[in-house]
Structure 1
Amino acid sequence: MSIKTNLLKIKSQLPNHVTLVAVSKTKPVSDLMEAYDAGQRIFGENKIQEMVDKHEQMPKDIQWHMIGHVQTNKVKYMAEFVDLIHGVDSLKLLKEINKQAQKHNRIIKCLLQIKIAKEDSKFGLSNNDALDVLISDDFIDLKHIKVVGLMGMATFTENMKQIKDEFINLKTTFDILKTHNKDLKIISMGMSGDYQLAIDCGSTMVRVGSSIFGARNYN
């Protein structure tokens, strides 16, 4: 099936309150433009340089989401245009995003990444660490970032009960942290294989790649 057909099929399945991020990492601009022409305006990339290159070539009404792990020394390359950074896992990174956003007189929206997976390879804050960030004096001083929600990545497993438990854990954490920060609106969880389950568990933003664009080419 075509990218347009895949995209429209997925959009037809999403409730109105759920935002679709088309995960376009490793895909050529021509593929992204096919999705763009079918109405998609939010694209997610996991490498900053790839996102910068695509941003330069594509229409300027696109919202670019950085969904991969972010190194502090790379923030400056995307600070001028990135709309939402999903994987914020430290106060140090928030401070750097704030510093770079200030240079462009912008406020950059961020999601705190919560570690919900059992795998050691996944990044993220513990629930307590996330709360410590949100109530710290240092955080309150950051005027050029806005934490608007949480993101989590479930364990890479076929065990849907485990994935469901991890999604519920993120929703529970969101409900707790929201009592300390009213700006929290977004729960970014769920990908091609489990986005329906994620929505059932409270997700408001899903990151779908292969179900739209087909299998990735990492060559």
Structure 2
Amino acid sequence: MSIADKIKEFHAELPADVTLVAISKTKPNEDLMEAYKAGQRVFGENKIQEMEQKHEDLPKDIKWHMVGHVQRNKVKYMAGFVDLIHAVDSLKLLKEIEKQAKKHDRTVECLLQIKIAEEDTKYGITVDEAKTILNSETYGKMSHVKIVGLMGMATLTENDAKIRQEFSFLKTTFDDLKKDRESFEILSMGMSGDYKIALECGSNMIRVGSSIFGERNYN
């Protein structure tokens, strides 16, 4: 099945309130354009320089999401165009996004990454750490950063019950934090291997790469 057919299939399958982020990291512009021509407008990258180059080369109505771990010294390269940063895991990072977004006179939307998986390789913060950031005076004074929800990555496992437990925990956390915050709209969870479980658990944004573009070549 072609990339275009897969995009059309996802758009037909997903509920209207769910956003599909096509994870295009390592993929050539030709592949992104095939998805674009099939109606896809939201793309996710995990390396800022690669995203910056694609932003230069591709249509300007594409919404670019940074889905990977963010190094503070690289924020300046994307602050002028990034639409959503998924993996915010510290107040220091938020401060840097605020500083760089201010230079471009724009507000950058962000998600706090909650660590729901047991694997050490997964980034993220605890729920208490997220509450500390959200309730901090520092964040309260920011006018160029807006936290609009949460992101999480489930454990890489065949155990669907475990994945469901982790996603359900994140949804409960999201609902709890949303009570006091009108800005909370996005729950980003679910990837190629587990997005159907994520949707059952209440995700409204899924990040799908290999199921659209095929396996990645990291050579």
Please indicate the TM-score interval, normalised by the length of the shorter structure: over 0.9
- CA distance in 2 between partners of 1:184 and 1:95 (Å): 19
Shift of 1:91: 0.7
**Structure 2 unmatched runs, 5+:** none
- Aligned letter for 2:38? A
Shift of 1:209: 0.6
Give 1:60's aligned residue: 60
Shift of 1:177: 1.0
Matched ranges for 1:83-102 at <5 A: 83-102=83-102
Matched ranges for 1:145-156 at <5 A: 145-156=145-156
Secondary structure class of the residue paired with 1:125? coil
Q: Which digits, 9 at most, give the CA deviation of each residue in 1:81-110, with x for residues without a partner?
A: 000000000011001000000000000000
- CA distance in 1 between partners of 2:62 and 2:31 (Å): 14
Give 2:169's aligned residue: 169
Q: Does 1:69 align with 2:69?
A: yes
Shift of 1:179: 2.0
- Aligned letter for 1:183? S
Query: Does the CA contact (< 8 Å) of 1:63 and 1:82 recur in 2?
Result: yes
Shift of 1:182: 1.9
Matched ranges for 1:14-163 at <5 A: 14-163=14-163
Query: Does the CA contact (< 8 Å) of 2:152 and 2:189 recur in 1?
Result: yes
Q: Which digits, 9 at most, give the CA deviation of each residue in 1:109-145, with x for residues without a partner?
A: 0000000001111111100000011011011011100
**Structure 1 unmatched runs, 5+:** none
Q: State the TM-score, normalized to the length of structure 2.
A: 0.99
Secondary structure class of the residue paired with 2:9? helix
- CA distance in 2 between partners of 1:39 and 1:175 (Å): 31
- CA distance in 2 between partners of 1:156 and 1:52 (Å): 29
Secondary structure class of the residue paired with 1:52? helix
Secondary structure class of the residue paired with 2:147? strand
What is the total number of aligned residue pairs between the two structures? 219
Secondary structure class of the residue paired with 1:216? coil
Query: Does the CA contact (< 8 Å) of 1:43 and 1:62 recur in 2?
Result: yes
Query: Does the CA contact (< 8 Å) of 1:89 and 1:125 recur in 2?
Result: yes
- Same amino acid, percent of matched pairs: 65
Shift of 1:25: 0.4
Shift of 1:13: 1.0
- CA distance in 2 between partners of 1:104 and 1:17 (Å): 30
Q: State the TM-score, normalized to the length of structure 1.
A: 0.99
Query: Does the CA contact (< 8 Å) of 1:134 and 1:180 recur in 2?
Result: no
- CA distance in 1 between partners of 2:48 and 2:192 (Å): 22
Query: Does the CA contact (< 8 Å) of 2:192 and 2:208 recur in 1?
Result: yes
Shift of 1:171: 0.3
Secondary structure class of the residue paired with 1:188? strand
- Aligned letter for 2:203? S
- CA distance in 1 between partners of 2:78 and 2:48 (Å): 7
- CA distance in 2 between partners of 1:47 and 1:134 (Å): 26
- CA distance in 1 between partners of 2:61 and 2:48 (Å): 18
Matched ranges for 1:160-199 at <5 A: 160-199=160-199
- CA distance in 2 between partners of 1:180 and 1:41 (Å): 31
- Aligned letter for 2:5? T
